[in-house]
Amino acid sequence: MESKITESVVEVRNLTTSYKERIIQDNISFRIYKGEIFALLGGSGSGKSTLLNTMIFLKAPTHGEVRILGKNIWSLSPEAALEMKLNLGVLFQFGALFSSLNVLENIMLPLREYTHFSQKNIQELAFMWLMRVGLKKEVANLYPNELSGGMVKRVGLARALALSPKILFLDEPTSGLDPSSARHFDTLITQLRGLLGISVVMVTHDMESVKGVVDRMIILKDKKVFFEGSLANLKTQVESLDVFLEQI
């Protein structure tokens, strides 16, 4: 086997999450390596979004650590937390575009908020991201309600990437897309990973994505990590991969 030095971008250590008394993750640990496309899998309600939220400053752990780029993100000072947040790009499940802003203004938003670039530079950067996610220049002036589902996801992706994050988080990026748009989105994610050298963490239940683009995954079950590894690893552990994946 090829040996290489692998650097973790995310390290979850003995993590427990809960809402009030109800435990969602019970003392789980896993790592995500630099450059990986990593999936969080599990049945509906298994805690995928909760887990993702502990990595993007939205849900504090009950116990344990979420280390990102070497730092326990839940013990950072407010200044250090802001600096860390700039390394993280997030595409939420429903795109979450501002309906009163056009496409370009949506992409420009994080640049306006977090940089001191000139208006002209911000606009140029937003156009660059628009094209990098495979959209035409003409799309810039459209409003969210004029976009297809696939285009909304792409604009959300451009906005998530605008500040050149090191890690991109995606919650169910292909849900609600037709199969062809979903596969195009998968291809785009793979291309961007290669082009930008980012690591990608995605919640998904799209098994075509898992087979097509995911390097490694965890499967959440009964509050624990039921499996961690690649699809090839998983194949050696189950009788029929397709039957197994359908049951998740």
Ligand X SMILES: Nc1ncnc2c1ncn2[C@@H]1O[C@H](COP(=O)(O)OP(=O)(O)O)[C@@H](O)[C@H]1O
Chain contacts with ligand X (rule: CB under 6 A): 19, 24, 42, 44-50
Q: Which is nearer to ligand X, 19 or 94 (CB)?
A: 19
Q: Which is nearer to ligand X, 52 or 200 (CB)?
A: 52
What phi and psi values does residue 191 have, to the nearest 5 degrees? -65, -45
* Structure tokens belonging to residue 177: 């897309």
Distances (CA, A) of 116 to 7, 89, 123, 126, 225: 32, 19, 13, 14, 42
Q: Which is nearer to ligand X, 4 or 22 (CB)?
A: 22
Rounded least distance, CB 175 to ligand X, Å: 11
Rounded least distance, CB 95 to ligand X, Å: 17
Rounded least distance, CB 49 to ligand X, Å: 3
Q: Which is nearer to ligand X, 52 or 147 (CB)?
A: 52
Give the β-pairing of 8-19 and 88-91. Answer: unpaired
47 binds, among Mg ion, ligand X, none (CB under 5 to 8 A by kind): ligand X
Q: What angle do the packed helices 119-132 and 149-161 form, to 10 degrees?
A: 130
Q: Which is nearer to ligand X, 48 or 153 (CB)?
A: 48
Give CA–CA dist 218/134, Å, rounded: 30
- Sheet arrangement for strand 199-203: 88-91, 167-171, 199-203, 37-42, 216-221, 224-229
What phi and psi values does residue 236 have, to the nearest 5 degrees? -75, -15
24 binds, among Mg ion, ligand X, none (CB under 5 to 8 A by kind): ligand X
Rounded least distance, CB 246 to ligand X, Å: 17
Chain residues in the site for Mg ion (CB under 5 A): 48-49
Rounded least distance, CB 43 to Mg ion, Å: 10
